[in-house]
Amino acid sequence: MIVGVPREIKNHEYRVGMVPAGVYALVQAGHKVLVQAGAGLGSGILDEDFEKAGATLVASAPEVYGQADMIVKVKEPLPAEYGLIRKGQIVYTYFHYAASRELTEAMIKTGAVTIAYETMEDAKRTLPLLTPMSEVAGRMSIQEGAKYLERPTEGRGILLGGVPGVEPGNVVIIGGGVVGTNAAKMAAGIGARVTILDVSLDRLRYLDDVLPPNVTELYSNAYNIRECIRQADLVVGAVLIPGAKAPSLIRREDLQHMKQGAVIVDVAIDQGGCVETAKPTTHANPTYIVDGVVHYCVANMPGAVGRTSTFALTNATSRFAVEIARHGWKNAAKAFGEVRTGLNIVDGKIVYKAVAEAFGMEYTPLEKVL
Ligand SMILES: NC(=O)c1ccc[n+]([C@@H]2O[C@H](COP(=O)([O-])OP(=O)(O)OC[C@H]3O[C@@H](n4cnc5c(N)ncnc54)[C@H](O)[C@@H]3O)[C@@H](O)[C@H]2O)c1
């Protein structure tokens, strides 16, 4: 199979769909890998690194799309890429279809086989291709929060870890899943006083077992959230109700009880945010202030740490790229639940129910195309 890796063209997207190790694995298995020149630069991977791993470099995206049987990338195709995708071509990337009717209609029109990272499920019913990005965003939330707590960026002027003789900062994390746990580890590690809230008692028990003593696990309800955020220097929003909009757990009127210059990092912004006053921001302009509280609501946080994110993502995606190339998409889907659950639109048909439901479009059961 010819596998193509184009350069990402989304604004401030520094990741790339494959690293030299992935190229090497595919080439060793007898496939050909075309990499667009410059595709890895945002992640610190040079063209010659790809070449040494066995890739063939090509100059332009049309050359990658024109020759490849399977495209491996990171973000959803943009309008400039729609016309490059052809019938029967496999496109393996994040799509987030439910967020865009335009993209859904465009991919139906191409007749391509689209395999979406975000819906791929393993036997434990977790989402192994989403988890690495939640790990990145969770750890990054503390780094960003610490930065915006500094006075020049209009924060309270707090060093989260404190120093001998001065108390540390208070970090409140709402949601104790992948994002929340990673945020808690980072905040605890730099010496902050951390409180993590979740509605799952089982999850709180687990967190109590694995997190250090400067983390307090607390049941999440309106009263506890209100009490916690009054003391908070940094609040991290990390809740998820799968498939649904995030619940508004901090309301506008709560902000007036928070400390001036406190920071909210609402990681859940990609699902609408768990803070009423949250609205999506970008890396170019990540924060704004409401009632004296700094809001950081970047919807693609991992993009800023492109190198780490590229390696974290491809650690999870490469294995299946190799299997799809080896077996073809149909047999790979039959053999691997992850590939099967990743199929969203195939040959102009929507085969993933939630996507069809999101737009009231026709749903075709997957079995009909396999
Ligand atoms: N902004 C970004 O760049 C970025 C990057 C990665 C992930 N995310 C988002 O971060 C969010 C969290 O992702 P995750 O992987 O940690 O999800 P997860 O499913 O691992 O964890 C979510 C947790 O929220 C808890 N929860 C649900 N309702 C709650 C409530 N009312 N109070 C407290 N806890 C509650 C759940 O019990 C669960 O433990 C998602 O919306 C995800 O899409 C954003």
- Residues annotated as catalytic are 96, 270
Q: Is the pLDDT confidence value at 242 over 90?
A: no
With a 6 A CB cut-off, is 265 part of the ligand 1 pocket? no
CA distances, 339 to each of 118, 144, 205, 313, 336 (Å): 11, 34, 33, 16, 5
User: Do 314 and 17 contact (CB within 8 A), yes or no?
Assistant: yes
Measured distance CA(239)–CA(179) in Å, rounded: 8
Q: How confident is the model at residue 182 (pLDDT cuts 50, 70, 90)?
A: very high
Residue 244: pLDDT over 80: no
Q: Which of 7-21, 55-69, 212-226 has the lowest mean pLDDT?
A: 7-21
Q: How deeply is 317 buried, as exposed, middle or buried, from its count of CB atoms within 10 A (0-12, 13-18, 19+)?
A: buried
pLDDT bin (cut points 50, 70, 90) of residue 246 is confident
User: Residue range 154-172: average pLDDT?
Assistant: 97
Domain coordinates of the chain in residue numbers? 2-119+305-368, 141-299
Q: Report the separation in Å between the CA atom of 275 and the middle of ligand 1, taken as the mean of its atom positions.
A: 13
Q: In angstroms, what is the span from residue 270 Cα to ligand 1's centroid?
A: 10
For ligand 1, is residue 274 a contact (CB within 6 Å)? no
For residues 65 and 69, give the distance between their C-alpha atoms in angstroms, rounded to a whole number: 8
pLDDT of residue 243: 65
At 99, is the pLDDT very low, low, confident or very high (cuts 50, 70, 90)?
confident
pLDDT digits (tens, 9 = 90+) for 286-345: 999 999 999 999 988 998 999 999 999 999 999 999 999 999 999 999 999 999 999 999
Q: What is the pLDDT of residue 272?
A: 86
Per-position b or e across 272-291, b if 16+ CB within 10 A of its CB:
bbbbebbeebeeeebbeeee
Res 282 pLDDT > 70: yes
Distance in Å, CA 12 to ligand 1 centroid = 24
Fold of 2-119+305-368: Rossmann fold (3.40.50)
Which superfamily is assigned to 141-299 in CATH?
A: NAD(P)-binding Rossmann-like Domain (3.40.50.720)
Which among 103, 96, 109 has a CA at the least distance from the CA of 342?
A: 96
Residue 43: the pLDDT is 95
Q: How many helices (H) and strands (E) does the chain have?
A: 13, 15
pLDDT at 259 over 90: yes
Band (pLDDT 50/70/90 cuts) for residue 131 is: very high
